[in-house]
Amino acid sequence: MILRESPISSLSPHTATTTSTLTTPLCSSFPLLTPTAADVAFHDWCQRYRIAISPSVHLITTNQSVAGRGVFSVQTIQEGELICSIPHACVFYPDNAATCFPETHERLKESLSRKQQQQQQQQQQPTTIKWIQKLWQRLLLRSSNTIDDEDLWNLELAEYALAACHQNHPWAEWIAQWQRDDPMHRLVCDGVAPHDVTVLEQTAENMHQIVPALDPLALQAALSLRLARYARHASWVRPHQQQQQQLQQQHSKTNALNTTNHHQQQPPPQHHDPELARMYSLVSSRALALDDHGNTGVVPFHDMINHSSRPNLQVVMRHETMEIYCTRDVDAGQELFLQYTQEGVAMDEIKALWTYIQWGIPTPNSEISTTTTTTTKTQA
């Protein structure tokens, strides 16, 4: 999928003759499937920008959804039925966004220069430190489907999303509906430092209670790695945070020497930017790889669909659109799902761990394969 279309701002909004107003259940047999005002507003937004959604489905906020909000069938759907067609112009990804926000684009180019300078400095670290870092990464990143640790796609998307909101761009109304509420998201939003052992231990233990198959030490290490990556990325795009990050690291080393304070909770960085942190975490959980050429972005409507190991939807890339089809017959009242991983790939402990960290989705113990996990840890 090579995205060469004009961005959403080039589309003249389609003016609907009526505005959706749904105050009764969409399916009489399922009274809990009643869209909220926000759900209806999202469908209206999609209609304005020519995102074609089948009348057989609707976004609904309900405790019947595995995530509290999801896309449901409101009438029987047949195998092969087209659920949604999304124009490439509506897809939120860096090339599209750079055209809409040139000032942000120029600032991000400067961030890339700072990134390269920091990487050169990191190459001068003592050999022992680098070896330990690589060992943790081999243990935790092996077999994961996460994108390169130093790839800037989530930082770029976060900055462009904030620009869209600040400038009341057509994307802003959709972005305002992005939601996430999970342990990783809360740590990022609260500005928790990657070396805050007390908070990370407690968070990892809480996550372990939800998914007992996941080792709490591995969870703690993964949380720390992700928080460190965010702090590093934020220092590239917001230079004032780089100095504060260095001060925090020195402060942590000082506390570690004091046995009475080594469990002391570290305060969030002085220059912690809650707005950037929240958006960074949101886009990290909603984005997907669009092609094999490094394009990563967020796709309207697609991002509202939850994932499962037993999906009933499939994405097909066309020249000008992304289309979503139903892969089997679905009765009214059922939630629709996309697939977690590639077909035929087992959900082992490492993949389940990163699914929880990246998307905030806890995988049920019964769906986690233990055979491949043992092999992975042995090889690491």
The domain segmentation of the chain, as residue ranges, is 8-87+304-339, 94-297+347-379
Which secondary structure element, helix H or strand E, spans residue 86, and what is its range? strand 82-87
pLDDT (0 to 100) of residue 26: 61
Q: Which has the higher per-residue pLDDT, 144 or 272?
A: 272
Q: Which has the higher per-residue pLDDT, 237 or 365?
A: 365
Query: How many of the other CB atoms lie within 10 Å of CB of 364?
Result: 12
Residue 245 has pLDDT above 70, yes or no: no
The first and second tokens of residue 74, run together, are 């409101």
Residue 14 has pLDDT above 70, yes or no: no
Side chain identity at 340, as an amino acid letter? Y
Indicate whether this model's pTM tops 0.85.
no
Q: How far is CA 91 from each of CA 8, 31, 95, 110, 298, rounded to the nearest angstrom?
A: 8, 33, 10, 25, 6
Lowest mean pLDDT among 56-60, 282-286, 342-346: 342-346
DSSP, collapsed to helix, strand or coil, labels residue 181 as coil
The first and second tokens of residue 220, run together, are 């703690």
Q: What's the pLDDT tens digit per position in 203-214?
A: 999 999 999 999
pLDDT-based confidence at residue 33 (cuts at 50, 70, 90): confident
Question: Phi and psi for 178 in degrees, rounded to 5?
Answer: -65, 135
Report the CATH number of the 8-87+304-339 domain.
2.170.270.10
Question: Phi and psi for 82 in degrees, rounded to 5?
Answer: -75, 125
CB 280 within 8 A of CB 167: no
Side chain identity at 232, as an amino acid letter? R
Average pLDDT over residues 242-256: 50
Percent of the chain at pLDDT > 70 equals 69
pLDDT-based confidence at residue 268 (cuts at 50, 70, 90): very low
Helices (H), 263-346: 274-286
Q: Locate the DSSP E strands across 161-312.
A: 288-289, 296-297, 306-308
pLDDT (0 to 100) of residue 133: 53
* Nearest in space to 200 (alpha carbons), one of 182, 185, 215, 187: 187
